[in-house]
Amino acid sequence: MPADFEQLIRHHGARIRRIASRYADSSSVDDLVQDILVRLWRSYPSFRSDARIETWIYRVALNASMTHVRDSIRERKGQAAMATHAASFSPASTAARSMGDVLTNFLTRLGDIDASILMMYLDGLNADEMNAVLGISANAIGVRINRLKQKFAEMYVD
């Protein structure tokens, strides 16, 4: 394995795990992370440096995640676990929760596109980079980000 690819995985491993955690139930997160890593490895030689590395990682990771979700739906796995987790968390009790717990709960309540936009926004990608990954106009992404901020404030800010 080339040293630069190893460095890339070390540097972006947490991001890859966060994406996998959003789209897989807890029992299959490691499998999805592995699938993402394999896809990154296979596509690494064709990566062109005209885009930021984060954009490429998101594109590969989200494609792998969408495949995983489709497979999970076919097998009828995972959905009950996510619904149980979201239902067990009351937005009113956020004072006793860590910011990570609050954010995880908020992400579970979002659709796939909005959750992807929020994760990329929190990782510092701009609207043009998100557009390259999702194919949604930069203007529409800006609108969604503002709506996500509003929704978060309504749910979690007293």
Domain boundary among 77, 107, 141: 77
Average pLDDT over the chain reads 81
CA distance 86 to 106: 9
- Going by C-alpha positions, the residue among 124, 28, 116 that lies closest to residue 73 is 28
pTM recorded for the entire structure: 0.62
Q: Read off the pLDDT of residues 84-129 as tens digits, 9 standing for 90 and up.
A: 555 555 555 545 456 667 777 888 888 888 988 988 888 888 899 8
CA gyration radius for the chain?
Answer: 16
Residues of the domain holding 136:
89-158
Please say whether the beta carbons of 29 and 19 come within 8 A.
no
Tokens 């009113």 found at: 92
84 inside domain: no
Closest listed residue to residue 69, CA positions, set 110, 37, 39, 25: 25
Of all residues in the chain, what percent carry a pLDDT higher than 90?
24
pLDDT of residue 146: 94
Looking at residues 48-70, what average pLDDT do you find? 83
Residue 106 is part of a domain; what is its CATH number?
1.10.10
Produce one character per residue of 35-53: b if its CB has 16 or more CB atoms within 10 Å, e if not.
Answer: bbbebbeeebeeeeeeeee
Tally of structural domains, the chain: 2
Whether 70 is in a domain gets the answer yes
